[in-house]
Amino acid sequence: MRIAFLTAPEGVEQVELTEPWKAVSDAGHEPVLVSTKPGEIQAFDHLDKADTFPVDEVVADTSADSFGALVLPGGVANPDFLRMDEKAVAFAKSFFEAGRPVAAICHAPWTLVEADVVRGRTLTSWPSLRTDIRNAGGTWVDEQVKVCEAGPNTLVTSRKPDDLKAFCEAFLDTLSEA
């Protein structure tokens, strides 16, 4: 199964991209890096520049129909850039409309808030997003990983890099059920 990893050109938390990427790949799926611009993305280790990664597809030139699921890595800047890009927001929202699994970690639910898809759902995130999630109609919980099956698809969320093992396991379980 092809899995879209949606990131902005700059600001993704590297470990929140690479750990789920490895888990998806090791499980026999095909991870695909989708961004708002062609070329490379710049990952970060918190506030310090880390590695760069080649973009496989540009969000304006692809659709959810090409993928079985979506992963939204965090980092503070990454989802902030994504939520300001109409095509990126529409791309994320289309996975919900198609009933495909979505996984989001740390600050990544900001993109989902912008897409207006958290209403009626229970999710977790970095704690500073709790008010945004509540204001968007979601229920925020402080848990290592939250799997929400409300609506047509499954949403897997986690709070931070320390939760990556549980996040990856829950997402892979969701993929095996999809």
At residue 21's C-alpha, the angle toward residues 154 and 86, to 5°, is: 60
Cβ(117)–Cβ(106) under 8 Å?
Answer: no
Q: Estimate the crossing angle of helix 14-26 against helix 164-177, to 10 degrees.
A: 40
Cα(108)–Cα(178) distance, integer angstroms = 22
Catalytic residue among 83, 93, 100, 107: 107
For β-strands 40-45 and 48-54, DSSP reports them as antiparallel
For 33, phi then psi, to 5°, come to -85, 115
Instruction: Give the residue carrying structure tokens 């979505």.
Output: 102
Cα(133)–Cα(116) distance, integer angstroms = 10
Cα(144)–Cα(112) distance, integer angstroms = 19
46 is catalytic: no
User: Which residues belong to the active site?
Assistant: 107
